[in-house]
Structure 1
Amino acid sequence: MPVSLQDQLVVAISSRALFDFEEENRLFEAGDPTTYLRLQRERLDVPAAPGVAFSLVKKLLAFNTAEQQRVEVLLLSRNDPVSGMRVFRSAKAHGLDSIQRGVFTQGRDPFAYLRPLGAHLFLSANADDVTQALQLGYPAAHVFTDSRRASDSHPQEVRIAFDGDAVLFSDEAERVFQTEGLEAFQRHEQEKASQPLPDGPFKPLLAALHRLQQMELPGMRIRTALVTARSAPAHERALNTLMDWKIAVDEAMFLGGLVKGGFLREFEPDFFFDDQTGHVRNAASHVPAGHVRSGIAQEQTRKPM
């Protein structure tokens, strides 16, 4: 029978999101691909240091056992195939032997390969690839490679934090805030408190994590958090939406515009997803963070909900 990734949580990740290739990338972006390739060849047996998403990937792979593969992590990279050798060798050197699949496109757009993979998440250090992936309907985030690395305080727990509007939920309510202001937003959400918000780009990932949570798994656990600028009474529609989806989060922070970074520092996620660059930049000084390049926040600079 052909191999299938069905019923697994599928994560596609770029080389720079998984490992620290920033020195090599500076050569490439300087327009010196020949020197870049030579450096990668010279370092084939030099394991790259862990990158921003390394902790998330390592913990997710720990859900796999000899009897059952629950999580598939594969490489989806603009790197050339030779550089891909170094990525695989780095993965093996860091104990990620189960990463065995990869697509290396040598500078061409890789995001179309998300379709045959059926990915639940795409993490990339290339912002344009993330935008295209989101437009195709796949949860994707632009990894801020200068983010603080994840805490090692919770080795048996995968911790993931999500913004609400334009991430887990659509940007329907956020558009009201942007165009009509806070008072109109609060009124809009009170009037529609019992009406679930439309799906956002990261609902499929939250649903896949929820399915993994429901399995009786020894050792590893998942803990999720909703971290949003919403506050009462607008919090009700967010919670009613999750109940309608039959998906629960472990923690919810309704911050009413307070800066998120300090709260995320206390939660200690392996990754945080937000649609606003300012929130992501603030979070990145405390935790691994990625920008979800979707919704009205990409069209306007005024702070949305």
Structure 2
Amino acid sequence: MKKIKFFIITKSVGFLINLTSYTALEKAKLQAYRLFSSPRKGKLHRENLPKTLRNTTLETFHYDGEDFQTYIWPGNEEIILLVHGWESNASRWKKLLPYLKPLGKTIIAIDAPAHGLSEGTELNVPKYAECLNVLIRKYQPKTIIGHSVGGAAIAYYLNKYQPEAKPNGAKLNPEIEKVVLLGAPSDFKIISDNFVKLLSLNSRIETQLEAYYQQKFNIHINDFSGHKFAQNFSQKALIAHDTEDSVVLIDEGRKYAKAWKNSIYIETSGLGHSMHDANLYQKIVEFISEA
């Protein structure tokens, strides 16, 4: 019943946007983009935080007119940064944290814009990467772990924000040494096409959306690909993807693994998109612990 209801709603919304496109194409385009970039769930309330996020140090950052939230589990001077995916929040790391904490490192998790306790109504990969840049400049993590769209934001960040030397020899954007991607999408074109298909949007809207992406992000949709960015990455990477992931198909993980020169690829089966698994988490710990 829920699937039928969702189908009816999405097709009805798409029909209305298509109808609008014949009289007000600009308006229809913006309606479609707002739907595309606005998460429907993942928000949290400060007075009722999940148990995982209680008893942490909360630090709020301000960027581009909005506040975004981080949670800190204190440890030594080496930092691990956790980056969740679409319609989620920092509590998604509940099952991984018991494996990371014994390492003794400081762990920091972010609520993406429009998610968790963070402000905003819109999330896209470049915006997420800009927030990561704010955190990475301050905390200088050695390891960064991303799930789903969080992984795509990491790839975008690594491509855009290369380390920059300062006059005193320090680095403005310090080099991250290790990256873990879990079920991460690569091709933005696939994400966009799936959205168009979901709502059955017409070609007029599709063309307008793709032009809008290029205008907004300053990159052609066909070049907006994490695995293309990864060809130039020097960091060590652990890339994991599940063969039964119905949200981000397995080919996306395989493309990352093929392009990322210094990477380890783990292909799982039966975990779906969530990628929660004790064996996988143990391998992540071993990867982080390697010299």
**TM-score w.r.t. structure 1 length?**
0.27
**TM-score w.r.t. structure 2 length?**
0.28
More helix by share: 2
Higher RCO by CA contacts (8 Å cutoff, separation 6 or greater): 1
